[in-house]
Structure 1
Amino acid sequence: MSVMTDSLAHPARSEIRIESVLHALADPVRLLFVRELARCGCEGAPCGSIELPVTKSTRTHHLRILREAGVISMRPEGTARISTLRREDLDTLYPGLLDSILTAAH
């Protein structure tokens, strides 16, 4: 069952599918965002703090794809939304996948 976080649906760990994760990470902009988020640490980062070469509306689209695939979670904090990499969930479901993708040559 999906988990709701302030009106944003996040898939439960059991709902995360490899096809969705790979699709989400196949896009260069989304992969850039995930790499930067991984470097930021476990606390996450405000969505707009990671520079991406796209417009705000396109950024929103990319973040939605990542969230719905279960790659990131988003939570409200004041007027910002904080994105966090769902590393524990991904590592549990697909051991080594995220590390392989994050360390692969650009």
Structure 2
Amino acid sequence: MTDYPIPAMDDVELVEVLRAVADPIRLHIVGVLADGEAHPKTVDDWGVDVTKSTMSHHFKILRESGLTRTLVEGRTHCIQLRRVELDEKFPGLVDALTR
């Protein structure tokens, strides 16, 4: 099983979150994930025209900044916004980013 470590929410800094969403593709990904559901990592499902390796890079940046987690179930890898934790630490941030 692949390990996808995420930072503890206490270690997540606003400047790193904002740096991660400064890229339009990553901001779009956050918008898709704002529903709180886990979404498969399949490139076709995100509505962006980039390669699989580019999407993997974007997912890594979002995960390492503390915005997302990767859930692994068998061969399926899904991305989920850490919505509840983010709303507790930075109230209103996700709503502001997805408007």
Pairwise same-fold verdict (TM > 0.5): yes
How far does the alpha carbon of each residue in 1:62-100 deviate from its partner, in whole angstroms, 9 at most, with x for none? 000000001111011221211111111111111111111
How far does residue 24 in structure 1 lie from its aligned partner after superposition?
0.7
CA-atom RMSD in angstroms: 1.5
In structure 1, runs of 5+ residues without a counterpart are none
The residue number in structure 1 matching 2:57 is 61
In the superposition, relative to structure 1, how do residues 80 and 51 fare at CA in structure 2: closer, same or farther (>3 Å)?
farther
Q: How does 1:4-83 map to 2 (within 5 A)?
A: 6-38=2-34, 41-48=35-42, 49-83=45-79
How far does residue 6 in structure 1 lie from its aligned partner after superposition?
4.4
TM-score by length of 2: 0.90
Is the strand fraction higher in 1 or 2?
1
Distance in 1, matches of 2:82 and 2:48, equals 20
Distance in 1, matches of 2:27 and 2:37, equals 19
Residues 40, 79 of structure 2: 8 Å contact kept:
yes
TM-score by length of 1: 0.84
Secondary structure, aligned partner of 2:18: helix
How far does the alpha carbon of each residue in 1:18-64 deviate from its partner, in whole angstroms, 9 at most, with x for none? 011001111000011111122xx333110113232211101000000
Give the structure, 1 or 2, with the largest relative contact order (CA under 8 Å, sep 6 or more): 2
| Number of residues of Structure 1 aligned to a counterpart in Structure 2 | 97
In structure 2, runs of 5+ residues without a counterpart are none
